[in-house]
Every structure is written in structure tokens, then in C-alpha cells.
Structure 1
Amino acid sequence: MKKIIFLLIAIAFTGCSDDFLDRDSLTAISESNFWKTEKDAQLGLNGIYDVLQDPIMYGGSLNGLHGTAVFDVFSDNSYNFYKGNGPGFYMEGNIDPNHFYFNFYWTACYRGIGRANVALENIEAMPESVISQDKKDEYLAQALFLRSLFYTKIAIYFQNAPLVLNVQTLDEAYVPKNSYEEIKDQIIADLIKAASALPVRYPENQYGYATKGAALGLLARFYMYNKEYQKALDATTEILGLGYSLNPSYAQLFTEQGEFSNEIIFSVRFVEGVSDNTENFSATFSGIPKVDDQPMPNLVDDYYNIDGLPISVSPLFNPAKEQENRDPRLNASVYFKGDIFLVDINRPFRGNTATTYARKKYIRNANYPNGTRASRPGGQDFIVMRYAEVLLMRAEALVELNQLSEVSALVNQVRARVNMPTVESVEGTGLSQDELRDIVRHERRVELAMEGLRFFDLKRWGEVEQAYQRLIADNVPGYNPSYRGVKSETFPIPQNEIDANNNLTQNTGWE
């Protein structure tokens, strides 16, 4: 099932070449060679999904070149050991708009946006003789969802940037920046439209395409980012009626065995052994677990003991055996010294990372049975949106609206999966808005750690500077994070884009 989708992508890009949607070939392909059949429309959509597999998006790498899969390195959750590849230098303030990292990320986002625009324009023009109106609406909705996904990344990290909504000629390409508000409004409008046309489920052999739940989930997340809490709450209400549920096992969810879980609302799909459809974010060295994304001590310390109490007050906490009697999500996410991290060769982690911890969530724990080493490209999917996040977004929206009666029950659903105590049994009843806000934010951190969402949360909560203070207090050898105001909360527009386009100006603080 999984292979069908990505073999289609491979066919599309083998048949049309890597220049399939490059500006120089747009006219020839759209007018004479392509967009003639429903199959062409499907392959064109697959070309947009293909961008999500880019290393700088979700594909990742064995070390250094980070994608969204390891974006917690831009926060207090993780440390980027290979600093020269971008994120580490960014956190230390030793980077400028010329660094290739910003160019890679910007280019990948706009490549996806460009492919979506091509698909939208050409699918819309296809007559009913080759594609039904229902199928056309579904394909257009997928393209709108994907364009919105790329634009949310642009909006969150670059903030002000060009808003390109159609296929451009070379002369039309030199556009100025649009405001964040303009980008925001477009994202919301597109996601609302996409959600109205996308199906709740696909046939089993089409698993992985964007659904109604995916559009509503991204919409709710973006509403949360913009503090539009009632609208976020309304979106989660719709999702609650779509039939999702929590996976019984938290740890299994982040393995290939969990890829078809009913908790997953949208994921980026990968296939081990299929050219151009593999990933490296789950790859690991045989001598040491993945070294470019090391959990920080302050994150490890934030997981409670199984009595529901912080380690600072719990009688169950033993500093000499810090992984014992802890929230099970900790041991599902982090390797401690002595843990076996490659089970097929019984290889223990020696604690030989700068933070003394290693990432476990999503990371392969064995070489492949076919002989492929754990350090080679693999087939682990990356979850972009899941039901647990929806429950926590709903809880947070209710807190911010000061509608508190449902909040504890939502948090309890998430805790129950890992047998952690209820809010009532530990924190009590009749809790204030501030108390419940702290509970929900903590729950979000430990539930979603190392899923690429921490920077998103810190920025919208106004807590980026406090996160840097926690990083500094961790005192990790060789790591010198430095908060620099707006330069620690936005990316610069790549300098090569500024140089090539006289209408484009640099973002505030990066001039």
C-alpha cells in the first residue's frame, strides 16, 4: 500500500525529469506534454508531496543538515552538535543571511508552493471529459492544503515574505515581500476551502494523501499560533467527530509498526529501498546514537515521575537512576547511558554525547533485516499531525477562553495512554486558569518532544528568551546559546534572494 503512492511519485519524476516544475520547463509541460488526464493530475499532486521528502523538509540526514523532523534543535529541547550546518550557529548567534541553511529551507518551501500553483492552475483548467468535478475538487483541495503547509513554514520562520499564488514567468518573479497578515489570511482561507472538499478517509491503497482532518488540524494549529482560540476550538470540534483515537502504545507510534495508526492525521511517507523515497532522520550511527540531535538536560528534567510529581519534589526520583519511575514518554524518547540502542548487535549507549543523552524517539533501534545498516536511508514515516496534539490544542484553547470545565478531562486522555495519574489525583480540582495553562503547556512539551513543534510553541507563548535561559543553565560543553531578540525568533531572507531581486528587502533585525 505504502509503496504504491511513492512508486507513482517515482514514475512521475522519472518520466518528467527533475525539471518537471522548474520555471524554464513550465510552459512546455503545461501546454503540450502534461495535464491531459486524471492520471496526470494525480502525478502532478505527487510532485508536490515529493517536496515534503526533501532533507531540509522532513527527510533529514544522518547528521548535520536538519529538516523539520529535528527542528526542536531551535528550542530548549535539543542540541545540534554539527553547528556549522546551521541550527547550532543560529542558536549561538554566529550566522548571517548568507548561510546555506536559510537558502535551502526557503528554496524547498517555495519549490513546494510553485508546484502547488502549477497543479492548481492546470487541474482547474481540465475539462469534465477527463476528470469528474468531485475528483477535481478533491485534487484542488490537496494542492491547497500542501501550499498552506509550506506557507505556514514561511510565515512562522520568515514571517514577511512573497505571497505567490499563481504560475510566474521570469519577468513576474521579482516580487516584493507581503506582510505576515496577508500570508496568514491566505493560509486560513485556503485551509478552510481545502477542509470543505477533502475526504475523511481514502481507500487503503491511497493512505497518506491529505484528508479533511489534516486540513482542519493544520488550521487549528495555525489559529493557535495566531491566538484565535475560538476558531481553533471550533476546528478541533470538527476533528473530534472524524473517528480518530489515540494509539495504545506511545513508543510504537514512532516506529514503522505504528505508521497506520488511527492516531495519525497526516504524515510524510517514506519507503526503505525505493529510490528517492527514503529518509535519513531516523538513521543512526552504529557506535553512538544520532549525535546531531541531542536531548537537553532541561527537557529530561521536565518529565515527571510516575506519581505525577516533578523530580524536584517526588520521593520516587533517584538522581543515580534518573530514568527509573519516570513518565514512560521519557524512556520512549530518550536514551540514557547503558541503554541498548541497537538491539540486533546488543550495542549500549555510553553516554558519550555533549548532553550525556541521546534521542530515541523515531530513531531505528536495529539494522534492517535485509542487511541495510541503520545508518543508511530508511522508510520511517514522519507524523506531521496526530490526534494527541488535537486534544492538547483543544485543551489549550479552552484555557485561553477561560472555559475550564473540559480541560482536565482532555489532558487525562493523553496521560492515560501512558498510565500517568490524572490531573485531579495530583494537581487537584477547582484549578485556576493559570494553573491549568501551566499543566497543558507542560503536557504539550512532554507529549510532543522532538517532533519539531517546540519552537512553534515557544514563539507563540512569548517564551523564546526564557528557553535560551534554560539552555544556558544546562551548561552543555561546547554549546553557547545566545538570545538576540528578533534574530532568535525569525529567519533572515537568504542573501542570494535579496541580491537577485531588487524588490525584496531583508527582514527586520537582519539588515
Structure 2
Amino acid sequence: MKKFLIYIAVAIFSFGCSDDFLTLQDPTNIAEDNFWQSANDARLGINGIYTVLQANGMYGGHLNGGMGMPAYDCLSDNEYNAWKWEGGGIFVVGSIDPSHWFFSGLWSDLYKGIARTNSAIRNIGLMDESVISEEDKNNYLGQAYFLRALFYYHVALYFEEAPLITEPQTLEEAYVAKNTEAELWQQVLDDLEKAIAILPLPSEQSDKEYGYATKGAALGLLARVALYKGQHDDVLEATQELLTLGYSLDPDYEQLFTYDGENSSEIVFPVKFLYGDLYDNGEKFSATYLPKPKVDVQPMPNMVNDYYCNDGLPIDDPASIYNPADPKENRDPRAIASVYFKGDIFLKDPEKVFAGNTNTKFGLKKYVRDDVDPYERAVFESGSQDFYLIRYADVLLMRAEALVESGNVGQEVYDLINAVRQRVNMPSVEAVEGAGLSQDQLREIVRHERRVELAFEGLRFYDLKRWGEMQEGYDRIAADAIKGYVPLYQGKKSEVFAIPQEEIDVNKNLVQHPAWQ
């Protein structure tokens, strides 16, 4: 709460987005009346909100010291957190407590972003047409509504019960009680509705504006929220419009998660990162140590085993072409793009061969640098790889799932899944599983496809939680029998984050989540 109060006090006056702004003697003490005076001020204010997404506890990530959202598959059966003290590992083994920085760091970043969006929404809304055009005003307001929805999406998903604040606050107003999970989700939906109404289409965005939210980004987040809430008609409506906005699957899945894949037509909404002589907005989720890949986060064996062979059959199917002596051979290309297998060349150096010397015997490859970045930064330093919050492949799979759950098991479901599979030259559903499948059969196919397509992108916890399959995920972790990694499923406590203890200590109106009491 101490950090939370500071964010309220300074509102958004630490953006640091231009030389002029940085020359102010004490940006944290600027009165709001002195800042929101021009369209450029509005732009700086919005930029300041985006910088929160780059925080380590959000999407910037860590090489060590804590976990950002790119590593949130460590909260599930997809990924192993070798350095359990970072947060993900001790969450899974049940030894974390509400005082851990894993909770407080995320909470602080989320409410920092919320404070900035609240100030932007109020002040941009009050700006006169003499200082800002209606087009710019709507664009900036639309982005602020989208970003507030994104922050509250994370609050609702991970903390469930938390304060709902939609106006700038004074310190005296900051000691607020929790709102319900339902109220938080409703705020997300309300903000997305406003954002969708006024944000520009992707086709209306210039190259220099790439990375700012568009109507497509808001529709994509709306689909994700609606899918979580089981509102399948809303998923279908949002994804139907997304199909018309010009997105497409990138033909090169492996390249997509490298610098060369940035700006792909598959990316619906990225978090942009820059690192160089003029910037200090780098990330660490793509950084790695030199002896072996990544080290702190590693693919779990059960996850790797869930990648089928390239004939479309599971590796334990007697009819498959799986080769136990060379488990990489004949596998789904997404496995080869996402996972280092023993014997793989590491860091493009024939002398650096991955020896399988990690806890899980596998190395993380997706998003992980294998060379210096465009700014000549070494692989273990901050980099400038964008992180993709929403991809078009996810849009197609969300639509397929919503169709199946709605009882619509016709050809469109097959076409959507096949599009995702065939991008990596995997065989169609009809060619392997067959046609005329039941709802239950298609449900399992869609869920498997989500796992292998979206692996190591931080969405597995979201999927397992909404499917009610978290305990099954913990069972798979246990079956992998990683030394020193004994998962402890504790019901609701394993599916929700604790409100940070420091927030509880200073706010008598804030009560801990029942699962953590």
C-alpha cells in the first residue's frame, strides 16, 4: 500500500517521454493543472501508461530476481521455475506467503498503471477542442480505456477481489475496501466497450504508431475476457469482427518470436521494447546465460511430450513415427521452434551444444535470444524483443473454442484449427482425428491445440483456471518427478494470488482473499 499511495500521490507525472518533460525540475510535484495543456501533453500521458507494461513485474521480465508475465507458464504444468524463490516455483510448491515480492511487485505495477489511466481519462476528457482535435482526443481516450481494461483484467484474473478505482485519488481517499470479482470484470467490459467505439482500425494506424492499441487490440482482449467468463456469444461476435481487420498467420512460426518477427501481420497487440543509446526500455525475458538456455525457466517434460509427431499422432501412439532415441526427430515444428533438445546448437555456435543439463533436461527456446540483439547487446543483457499479448492464432483458437462450447461443431471449427496447424505443416483434423467429431472430441482437440500453439506465452494458468483443470495440471507436474519440485495443489489457494501483506498492514479497510486467510 505504501507504493500504492505513492502512485496515487504522483498520479502520472513521471512519464519521462520527452526532453522537454525531463527538463522540469521535479516532475513528481507537477500540479495536474500545469500539465494537461496540449495534445502533446496527452501523448506524453498515454506514453507514460505504456511504460508500466514494460516493468519487470509486468512484461519486462527478469533473468533472475523475480518473474514477469512472460514466465507465467511457471504457474502451471508447462514450465519449471528452477529458481523457485523468484515466485512461480514457490507458488506451485505451496511455500509462498503474502509478503513475497512476487505478489507485491505485480500489485504495485497494476495499480500504478490504473492511477495513470484514471488521470489520463479525466484530464484528456476535459481538454478543449482548441488544444486537441477530436480525432486525437478519441484516440488517446480509447487507448487509456483499453489499458485500464488490461490492468483490471490482470487484477481480476490473478487477485479476484481488489479495490476498483476509476477516478484520481488523494492520499486521504486511498484507503479503500475491496470490490468483488464480478465488479472488476464488469469494469473491464465497460472500458473495452468504450475503447472499441473510438479506437482506430489497424489499417488506420501509421507505421510510427505501431504498438499503440487499436480497435483490434480491444476486440482481442474482449474475446479473451468473454472466453474466461464463458460468454461464448460475445467471443464469437468479437472474433467475427477481428477476422475482417486484415490480420493473418505468419508463415514462419519460429521466426515470429525473434526480432525479425516483430511487426508481423499476426500480432494483434504487442508490448514494445527498445534498448539502445537513446532508450532504456529494455526487457529481460529474452535474456539467457551462456552455459545453457535460460536456466531459471525450463519446459516441463509433460509439456514437451504433448507436442505430437509431424504425422499428427501423439508420441505414445504405437502408430506414430516417434523416435525415442531422437525425441526431436519427426516432431511438430512448434516443438523445435520452442524447445532446446539435447544436442541442439545453442547461441549459433557449433561449439556450444546443449547437453540437456537442466533440471527438466530441456531448454526454453521461444522468445530466447540466440545472438546479440540489433543494439549489439549480449544475450544476457537487457534486450529489445517485443512481447505479443494477443496473436491472431489465439483469436482463431478462441473462436474455435467458443463455437465448440456453443454446440456449433460444424466445418468452421475444423477450418479454424486446420489454419493454425497447417501454418506449421501439421496435418488437418480430418486427416488424423477424422470428421464428424463430437463436442467432447473437438473440445479436447482445441484445448490441446491451444497448449502447443501458445506454450510459454504466459496463458496456461488462464486456460487451466477457466477450464477447472488446475489440479490435473499439478498432477502432471508431480508425474514429471523433477528433483526438489513437489507441487502442492491447495484448491482455490493455488488459483488466486494473495493481496500483498504490506497493503493489508497499512489499510485497515483491505481484507485478505479468503483462500489466503
Aligned AA (1:215): A
Aligned AA (2:175): Y
Equivalent position of 1:498 in the other structure = 504
Equivalent position of 1:463 in the other structure = 469
Equivalent position of 1:489 in the other structure = 495
**Matched residue of 1:66: which SS?**
coil
Equivalent position of 1:112 in the other structure = 113
Equivalent position of 2:216 in the other structure = 213
The 2-side partners of 1:94 and 1:13 are apart by: 44
Partner of residue 286 from structure 2, selected from 282, 287, 292: 282
**Matched residue of 1:380: which SS?**
coil
Equivalent position of 1:4 in the other structure = none
- Segment of structure 1 superposing worse, 61-70 or 115-124: 61-70
The answer to whether the 8 A contact 1:63-1:291 is kept is no
- Summarize the Cα distance change of 1:176–1:239 in structure 2 as closer, same or farther, 3 Å threshold: same
Deviation at 1:131, TM superposition (A): 0.5
Equivalent position of 2:307 in the other structure = 303
- Summarize the Cα distance change of 1:321–1:344 in structure 2 as closer, same or farther, 3 Å threshold: closer
Partner of residue 440 from structure 1, selected from 430, 435, 446: 446
**Matched residue of 1:118: which SS?**
helix
Could you report, residue by residue, the CA deviation over 1:5-39 in whole angstroms, capped at 9, with x for unpaired residues?
xx98364873468964xxxx4xx43112x111100
Equivalent position of 1:192 in the other structure = 193
Aligned AA (1:143): A
The answer to whether the 8 A contact 2:373-2:384 is kept is no
Equivalent position of 1:397 in the other structure = 402
The 2-side partners of 1:64 and 1:383 are apart by: 23
The 2-side partners of 1:64 and 1:438 are apart by: 37
The answer to whether the 8 A contact 1:151-1:183 is kept is yes
Deviation at 1:344, TM superposition (A): 4.8
Equivalent position of 2:11 in the other structure = none
- Summarize the Cα distance change of 1:370–1:56 in structure 2 as closer, same or farther, 3 Å threshold: closer
Aligned AA (1:492): A
Equivalent position of 2:4 in the other structure = none
Aligned AA (1:121): R
Aligned AA (1:297): P
The answer to whether the 8 A contact 2:253-2:334 is kept is yes
Where does the alignment leave 5 or more consecutive residues of structure 2 unmatched? 1-14
Deviation at 1:206, TM superposition (A): 1.1
Deviation at 1:369, TM superposition (A): 6.6
Equivalent position of 1:204 in the other structure = 207
Q: Does 1:233 align with 2:200?
A: no
The answer to whether the 8 A contact 2:17-2:47 is kept is yes
Listed as ranges, the matches of 1:310-325 within 5 Å are 310-313=314-317, 314-325=319-330
Could you report, residue by residue, the CA deviation over 1:54-110 in whole angstroms, capped at 9, with x for unpaired residues?
011000111241111111000000011111121111110001111111000100000
Partner of residue 366 from structure 1, selected from 363, 368, 371: 371
Equivalent position of 2:383 in the other structure = 378
Equivalent position of 2:82 in the other structure = 81
- Summarize the Cα distance change of 1:477–1:364 in structure 2 as closer, same or farther, 3 Å threshold: same
**Matched residue of 1:436: which SS?**
helix
Equivalent position of 2:337 in the other structure = 332
Q: Does 1:14 align with 2:17?
A: no
The 1-side partners of 2:513 and 2:279 are apart by: 38
The answer to whether the 8 A contact 2:493-2:515 is kept is yes
The 2-side partners of 1:319 and 1:18 are apart by: 63
The answer to whether the 8 A contact 2:70-2:285 is kept is yes
- Segment of structure 1 superposing worse, 373-382 or 345-354: 345-354
Equivalent position of 1:450 in the other structure = 456
Equivalent position of 1:177 in the other structure = 178
**Matched residue of 1:124: which SS?**
helix
Equivalent position of 1:473 in the other structure = 479
Could you report, residue by residue, the CA deviation over 1:452-495 in whole angstroms, capped at 9, with x for unpaired residues?
00000000000000000000000011211110111100001001
- Summarize the Cα distance change of 1:247–1:393 in structure 2 as closer, same or farther, 3 Å threshold: same
- Segment of structure 1 superposing worse, 72-81 or 313-322: 313-322
The 2-side partners of 1:13 and 1:54 are apart by: 20
TM norm structure 1: 0.95
**Matched residue of 1:418: which SS?**
coil
**Matched residue of 1:171: which SS?**
helix
Identity of aligned residues (%): 55
Deviation at 1:366, TM superposition (A): 1.2
Aligned AA (1:222): V
Equivalent position of 1:3 in the other structure = none
Aligned AA (1:442): H
The 2-side partners of 1:426 and 1:87 are apart by: 36
The answer to whether the 8 A contact 2:16-2:48 is kept is no
Deviation at 1:372, TM superposition (A): 2.5
Could you report, residue by residue, the CA deviation over 1:122-162 in whole angstroms, capped at 9, with x for unpaired residues?
10111000001221111111000001101100000000100
- Summarize the Cα distance change of 1:65–1:15 in structure 2 as closer, same or farther, 3 Å threshold: farther
Could you report, residue by residue, the CA deviation over 1:390-443 in whole angstroms, capped at 9, with x for unpaired residues?
000000000000011111110000001000000001000110000000000000
The 1-side partners of 2:376 and 2:350 are apart by: 13
TM norm structure 2: 0.94
The 1-side partners of 2:26 and 2:109 are apart by: 14
- Summarize the Cα distance change of 1:369–1:182 in structure 2 as closer, same or farther, 3 Å threshold: closer
The 2-side partners of 1:350 and 1:16 are apart by: 53
Deviation at 1:509, TM superposition (A): 1.6
Aligned AA (1:149): L
**Matched residue of 1:379: which SS?**
coil
- Summarize the Cα distance change of 1:12–1:473 in structure 2 as closer, same or farther, 3 Å threshold: farther
Root-mean-square deviation over aligned CA pairs: 1.5
Aligned AA (1:213): G
The answer to whether the 8 A contact 1:415-1:421 is kept is yes
Could you report, residue by residue, the CA deviation over 1:188-220 in whole angstroms, capped at 9, with x for unpaired residues?
011011011111121111111000000000000
Aligned AA (2:131): V
Aligned AA (2:68): G
- Summarize the Cα distance change of 1:64–1:348 in structure 2 as closer, same or farther, 3 Å threshold: farther
Partner of residue 267 from structure 1, selected from 261, 266, 270: 270
The 1-side partners of 2:322 and 2:20 are apart by: 55
- Summarize the Cα distance change of 1:190–1:432 in structure 2 as closer, same or farther, 3 Å threshold: same
Deviation at 1:272, TM superposition (A): 2.6
The answer to whether the 8 A contact 1:57-1:67 is kept is yes
**Matched residue of 2:335: which SS?**
helix
The 2-side partners of 1:13 and 1:330 are apart by: 46
The answer to whether the 8 A contact 2:146-2:195 is kept is yes
The 1-side partners of 2:258 and 2:122 are apart by: 37
- Summarize the Cα distance change of 1:369–1:459 in structure 2 as closer, same or farther, 3 Å threshold: closer
The 2-side partners of 1:447 and 1:380 are apart by: 19
Equivalent position of 1:152 in the other structure = 153
The 1-side partners of 2:72 and 2:476 are apart by: 17
